[in-house]
Structure 1
Amino acid sequence: MEMLHLRYFVAVAEELNFSQAARKLHMAASPLSQRIKDLEHELGHKLFDRSTHHVTLTAAGSALLPIARDVLEQVNAIPWRLQEAVKPRRSTVFVGMPGGVHPALRERVKQLEERCHDRFELKRWPGTTPDLVAAVHQGKLALSLVRMPVTDPALEMIPVQVERLGAVVPADRFAGRDTVNIAELSDLSYIPSASESIPAYSEDMDRQLSNAGIKKRLKVDGAEYSGISELVANGSSFSITMLDPASPMHLFLVDGATVLPFADFRPQLETALVWRRDRAEEGDLAELVAGVRDVFAEPLST
């Protein structure tokens, strides 16, 4: 018995008409009738009662129909079952996440998780940029979002977001203002908000502010963003943070502090996604990095 015999039988049983079944099978009615007779002979049972105008299933035919359908379904399932059996196992990998990641960027990470779901389970790991860069270099993390600049030659990166920054200033002093000039802050002390978590960025920002005439500094060891906001609200200092109100950093603002864009100074924070170059070039992350390049093809700008 061949699979074709069962396919022919099911087609005739469903149509109860040899001519219609033959058209469905793209063959002539005469050879189809002969194949059914061959099957009946092999099984030792008559499967159809035939008359000039009617075709009906016999008791044996009715019993065979669900069996034949089940066998054909099993055969039809072989290609995808085989593919499932031999495809690579799903790997769990970790993606580094620095603090204050913008919701739009988090959504992109979620899209990457969905795109690579069949091959990778992506789990997130928090940390500062220096720690995350080190973890990627050591192979503990597959990927990581990092605040630029990063200069590790072993890593490859793709820019994913540029965030415009604004001044966190005392609300009462700048009430009713839409912008602030950098010179208006020269008598205030600048409080760095990310010197430990983003040291390279902090050094660059400090240099830019010094060149712009901001000389006073107030370094507060271990201060959280809300603590910095409290100090700004006192009226004698300012800081810098993301300008977009959708940024989670705005959750740390307290009454008495507000964020204004600069009129004559355009600081920004660049974020990139990094991975080990050797793991992407025909390594274990080649497929994941291909997904990264697709999902993050267009950098975000806020």
Structure 2
Amino acid sequence: MEMLHLRYFVAVAEELNFTAAARRLHMSTPPLSQRIKDLEHEIGHRLFDRSTHHVMLTPAGAALLPIARDVLEQVNSIPWRLREAMRPQRGTVFLGMPAGVHPDLRERVKALAGRVRERFELKRWPGATADLVNAVRDGRLALTLARLPVADPALEQLTVMSERLGAVVPADRFAERDSIALAELTDLPYVASPAEITPAYFDELDRQLSELGVRKRIKLTNTGFGAASEIISCGLAFSISMLDARSPMQGYRVENVTILPFSDFRPRLDTALLWHRERAQGGDLEELVDAARDIFGEPLDI
């Protein structure tokens, strides 16, 4: 018995009309009628009562119909069952997290982990932006959040957040102020966190400050993010950091340090989600990247 015989039988049984069944099967009626006769001969039972006016299932035909449908359903399901069997099992992938990721962005990371949990176990991996970008390029990380700018043609990037920056200043010197002009800071040195942990954007920010009249600098090496706050609290310098009170970077502030918005300067730090182009469309991370595009698609403006 061939599978086609069952397909022909089910078509006739559902149409109860040889001409309609033949049309559905894209064949002519005489060959279809002959195939049904061949099937009846092979199984030893008449399947249809035929007359010039009607076609009816015999008891044997009625009994065969659900069996044939079940067999055909099993055969039709072979391609997707094979795809499921060949799919990799749930694997662990890593998403890079630079310092100071805003809690709203963390919520989206959690949402992504929940969306793909049946296929991937998504874990976070900390690091500086440059190191995280390198890890995505060489395949150690699946995705990373990264402070822009990042220039790497092998990687795709989706901007996910833009954060307003403010002036980190000695609180006693600027008491009861709700904003500050850059011109008021030209007598103070600008101090940034060490270059090895600072996003590349701050190099451009340093250049802008110099062009706008802030000439003095204090350079820090082999220290963390909190080192700048220690100098600022003594009234020796100012810095620039995330303005939003919920930013984790606010945790590095110490006594006599406050952060104020600029009245004449609008620095912003943008964050993007990055992945390797070749691993996305048609690659092993296509499902993960598609989910990330959906969840991070509307950038946050803080």
Give TM-score, length-normalised by structure 2.
0.71
Cα deviation, residue 193, structure 1: 2.2
Give the aligned partner of residue 275 of structure 2: 275
Matches of 2:100 and 2:194 in 1, distance apart? 11
Matches of 2:146 and 2:240 in 1, distance apart? 18
Give the aligned partner of residue 299 of structure 1: 299
Give the aligned partner of residue 260 of structure 2: 260
| 3-state SS of paired residue (1:92) | strand
Cα deviation, residue 88, structure 1: 4.0
Letter of the 2:159 partner, please give it: P
Give the aligned partner of residue 128 of structure 1: 128
Contact residue 102 and residue 247 of structure 1 kept, 8 A: yes
Give the aligned partner of residue 206 of structure 2: 206
Contact residue 145 and residue 273 of structure 1 kept, 8 A: yes
Unaligned runs of 5+ in 2: 1-58, 60-76
Q: Equivalences for 1:9-28 in 2 at 5 Å?
A: none
Give the aligned partner of residue 94 of structure 2: 94
Matches of 1:262 and 1:120 in 2, distance apart? 43
Cα deviation, residue 223, structure 1: 2.4
Matches of 1:277 and 1:245 in 2, distance apart? 35
| 3-state SS of paired residue (2:101) | coil
| 3-state SS of paired residue (1:196) | helix
Superimposed CA distance per residue, residues 60-102 of structure 1 (whole angstroms, 9 cap, x where no aligned partner): xxxxxxxxxxxxxxxxxx99xx799735411111111101111
Cα deviation, residue 195, structure 1: 2.1
**RMSD (Å), alpha carbons:** 2.2
| Paired residues, number | 227
Letter of the 2:219 partner, please give it: K
Cα deviation, residue 229, structure 1: 0.7
Superimposed CA distance per residue, residues 158-201 of structure 1 (whole angstroms, 9 cap, x where no aligned partner): 00100000000000010000000000000001001252223521
Letter of the 2:264 partner, please give it: D
Q: Are residues 1:177 and 2:177 paired?
A: yes
Q: Are residues 1:108 and 2:108 paired?
A: yes
Contact residue 155 and residue 277 of structure 2 kept, 8 A: yes
Letter of the 1:196 partner, please give it: E
| 3-state SS of paired residue (1:183) | helix
Distance 1:194 1:201, change over 3 A: farther
Distance 1:102 1:194, change over 3 A: farther
Letter of the 2:93 partner, please give it: V
Give the aligned partner of residue 37 of structure 1: none
Give TM-score, length-normalised by structure 1.
0.71
